[in-house]
Chain A
């Protein structure tokens, strides 16, 4: 499994043709306490860059974009009851949705760990 990042601070953990999407630890720190998450519908077809979800902090709403094109296969229902999982465990328990990747080639355009670390330092 490899993890890639967008410049908008989404991550995607890639496992074969499937990916798990959330926001980076840096992003959750910037947003502060997440109080509400609007999840996409399972089965929704997304193009790379489409708005996929919304996370709301006390102060503001932030859109989460699809890092690659694909179909939503699963959403993290736990976030409905406990949106703060995105703060406490952004890159594991705080995942937002899973996606069946249409075009693995799009992953090449994303940042790797080092590239993302560079962006946020």
Chain B
């Protein structure tokens, strides 16, 4: 149980607040971040499912990509910026409505996933996108995007600010007490709002399976926002530990674990993110492999497992009912909402049917596991009624 080394770690703008709140700081993605606060992962996890959890995800990579010479016409400029970014990804950006957020993936020429990310069409400025990438990949992602757009667009990093996620059934009640207009946001949309003199870029999105928001704020106002949100008794700070258990229950893959540059969107069961228009045009990186896998089935596929007994962690072998090794766990742990161990992993297509009995090897012993539907815990995203 070595203590986290503080060497060469970046700190987030709210570092002092985390320490003051009793956060246990650990290295993550090059940053020092709280893995948990004194109440612990289990209580933080359940609080988020029942109330509202406040997460500091400032290690991630928010940015804006703006066409260099906008005409001022929304459709013309959006088509121009979409044409610059789409060759890197498998998503349809062109047909995004103003303010709409899309989950997509940066791909290499072999169809492997370089990162999963959010790209949104700016509701205000023509020819602008809001792009949020993962912490561990952000330098490479930003370099890749900047190189692709050349002098035709300007990438402005915002990862010197704070990105806070407020997640849980009470999130909308809490945030609307500060910014009433956010009740108008549909799931997977964003806008810029004013809270007094402070500008907040707020997306109705998250990584827990709950309704919630991701809020970008300049570093100098981060503490004011953090304190204001925590002043509401429905809100508690939540560390990275519960962030991981919440996203695992929600069946959401984690880059660098469940996704990497050898894994395709079809293998990762993220085929929904290969947009129809892009499939028909076959104009995205690795289209040949990805379209073939979509047609004929991939060699391996991501599944969810319920594991009996001890949690099967990342790297644990998955075995068929005869004990033959067929795959590997890429994320696994204990699901606080279910009171049992769950895992994500990759197996050949013949073993992906829900109800398939498998085994996992934990410390050399075989334990029963069963393929189940994901999400393990149903998503409770906000759906606007028509």
Contacts from A to B (Cβ < 8 Å): 9, 27, 30-33, 35-36, 38, 54, 56-62
Q: Which of A31, A35, A57, A61 has the most CB of B within 10 A?
A: A35
- The reply to whether A31 and B41 contact each other, CB–CB distance below 8 Å, is no
Q: Mark B298-313, 1 if CB is under 8 A from A, else 0.
A: 0000000000011101
- The reply to whether A36 and B309 contact each other, CB–CB distance below 8 Å, is yes
Residues of chain A with a CB closer than 8 A to B310's CB: 36, 38, 54, 56, 61
Using CB atoms, name the residue of chain B closest to A83.
B334
- The reply to whether A59 and B241 contact each other, CB–CB distance below 8 Å, is yes
Q: Mark B227-260, 1 if CB is under 8 A from A, else 0.
A: 0000000000000011011000000000000000
Alpha-carbon distance A36/B42, docked complex (angstroms): 13
Using CB atoms, name the residue of chain B closest to A30.
B1
Using CB atoms, name the residue of chain B closest to A33.
B42
- The reply to whether A58 and B245 contact each other, CB–CB distance below 8 Å, is yes
Contact partner, B41, options A27, A32, A56, Cβ 8 Å: A32
Contact partner, A56, options B42, B245, B311, Cβ 8 Å: B311
Residues of chain B with a CB closer than 8 A to A30's CB: 1
Alpha-carbon distance A54/B312, docked complex (angstroms): 13
Using CB atoms, name the residue of chain B closest to A59.
B241
A-B contact count, CB below 8 Å?
Answer: 51
Contact partner, B241, options A32, A36, A38, A62, Cβ 8 Å: A32
Give the residues from 263 to 312 in chain B that come closer than 8 angstroms, CB to CB, to chain A. 309-311
B35 at the interface (CB under 8 A from A): yes
B87 at the interface (CB under 8 A from A): no
Residues of chain A with a CB closer than 8 A to B334's CB: 35-36, 56-58
Alpha-carbon distance A31/B241, docked complex (angstroms): 12
9 contacts across the A-B interface (CB closer than 8 A): A9-B1, A32-B41, A32-B42, A54-B310, A58-B45, A58-B242, A58-B245, A59-B245, A61-B311
- The reply to whether A32 and B36 contact each other, CB–CB distance below 8 Å, is yes
Q: Mark B314-344, 1 if CB is under 8 A from A, else 0.
A: 0000000000000000000110100001000
B123 at the interface (CB under 8 A from A): no
Within the complex, what minimum Cβ distance (angstroms) separates A77 from chain B?
Answer: 15
- The reply to whether A58 and B341 contact each other, CB–CB distance below 8 Å, is no
The size of the chain B interface, using a CB distance under 8 A, is 21
- The reply to whether A58 and B1 contact each other, CB–CB distance below 8 Å, is no
- The reply to whether A36 and B36 contact each other, CB–CB distance below 8 Å, is no
Contacts from B to A (Cβ < 8 Å): 1, 35-36, 40-43, 45, 241-242, 244-245, 309-311, 313, 333-334, 336, 341, 363
| 19 additional A-B residue pairs with CB within 8 Å, beyond A33-B42, A58-B41 | A9-B1, A30-B1, A32-B41, A32-B241, A33-B40, A33-B41, A36-B309, A36-B310, A36-B341, A38-B310, A54-B363, A56-B334, A57-B334, A58-B45, A58-B241, A59-B41, A59-B245, A61-B311, A62-B1
Residues of chain A with a CB closer than 8 A to B45's CB: 58
Residues of chain B with a CB closer than 8 A to A62's CB: 1
- The reply to whether A35 and B311 contact each other, CB–CB distance below 8 Å, is yes
Closest 7 CB pairs of A and B: A33-B42, A35-B334, A58-B41, A32-B40, A30-B1, A58-B334, A33-B40
Residues of chain A with a CB closer than 8 A to B333's CB: 58-59
- The reply to whether B363 and A38 contact each other, CB–CB distance below 8 Å, is yes
Alpha-carbon distance A35/B311, docked complex (angstroms): 9
Alpha-carbon distance A33/B40, docked complex (angstroms): 7
A36 and B1 in contact, given A59-B35, A59-B244 (Cβ under 8 angstroms): no
Alpha-carbon distance A9/B363, docked complex (angstroms): 22
Residues of chain B with a CB closer than 8 A to A35's CB: 42, 311, 334
Alpha-carbon distance A117/B345, docked complex (angstroms): 42
A58 and B313 in contact, given A31-B1, A35-B334 (Cβ under 8 angstroms): no
Using CB atoms, name the residue of chain A closest to B42.
A33
Using CB atoms, name the residue of chain B closest to A35.
B334
- The reply to whether A58 and B42 contact each other, CB–CB distance below 8 Å, is yes
Residues of chain B with a CB closer than 8 A to A54's CB: 310, 363
Alpha-carbon distance A99/B153, docked complex (angstroms): 69
A36 and B363 in contact, given A31-B1, A58-B241 (Cβ under 8 angstroms): no
Residues of chain A with a CB closer than 8 A to B309's CB: 36
Alpha-carbon distance A114/B333, docked complex (angstroms): 36
Using CB atoms, name the residue of chain B closest to A61.
B313
Residues of chain B with a CB closer than 8 A to A38's CB: 310, 363
